[in-house]
Each structure stands twice: as C-alpha cells, then as structure tokens.
Amino acid sequence: MESRDPGRFIRDPRGARQAHTRSHTAHTDQLDTHCPDTYAEAVEVHFTRGLEAKLTHLATAQGRKTDELCKTLVARYLEDESQFLEAVEKGIAAAGRGEFIDEEEMDARVEQMFKS
C-alpha cells in the first residue's frame, strides 16, 4: 500500500475521503498532470469508499500516487468528452443541412465498428 501525505487526503465526518488536487490555469486545452506547482488553488473531490478503493488499487498496481492517477484520469476523461461533444455538434450541423444516411448505411457502419 502506498504511503500518503496526510495533507493530500482528509476524512470528512461522513467517512468519505477528500482528494486535494489543484485547479488548472494554463493557456492550453490540455491539463498538465506532471507539474503541480503550476496550479493556483486546491480542488476537493469527494469519493465514496468503493470508488476510493478502486482508485487506490489501480494506482498501487501501476506504482503511482493516487493524486497523480486521478489527475491523469480526469484529463483523459475531459479530452474524450470534448471529442464526443465535438462529434455530436458536427452531427447536429450535418442534420441541420439535411445530410442524413439511410438505415442500411447506418447498420453497415455499426457492424463495421464492432468488427474493428
């Protein structure tokens, strides 16, 4: 089990632990997960015990600190979410222009997607 800096996690009265990370202030769309000194203020994240256990297990298995893994996971999620929302907007714009595909083509695309 990894040792933890007591200032990084605090147990609240309900028994949930709070991970203290820092907010992002860089001028790019990507989060810097390797340089915590560039962050201006702390952000609290409250985890259920089950989620915290999964995070700790995964971090331990990877030989990483839980706060570093958490930053990486959040950065990855935000990038994926951004790409998904961009694709949705493109689809809405195409539909607005009347650009649709028929059901057979859609079925073929879905089938191809599952083969990949």
Domain contains 3: no
Q: Which of 24-33, 84-93, 95-104 has the lowest mean pLDDT?
A: 24-33
Domain contains 1: no
Q: How many domains does one find in the chain?
A: 1
Cα 69 from Cα 73, distance rounded (Å) = 6
Which residue range forms the structural domain that includes residue 72?
Answer: 9-115
Instruction: Output the pLDDT for position 38.
Output: 57
pTM for the whole thing?
Answer: 0.54
Strand partners, 22: 42
- The pLDDT-based confidence of 101 (bands split at 50, 70, 90) is confident
Q: Identify the helix (H) or strand (E) that includes residue 14.
A: none
Domain contains 87: yes
Cα 24 from Cα 62, distance rounded (Å) = 24
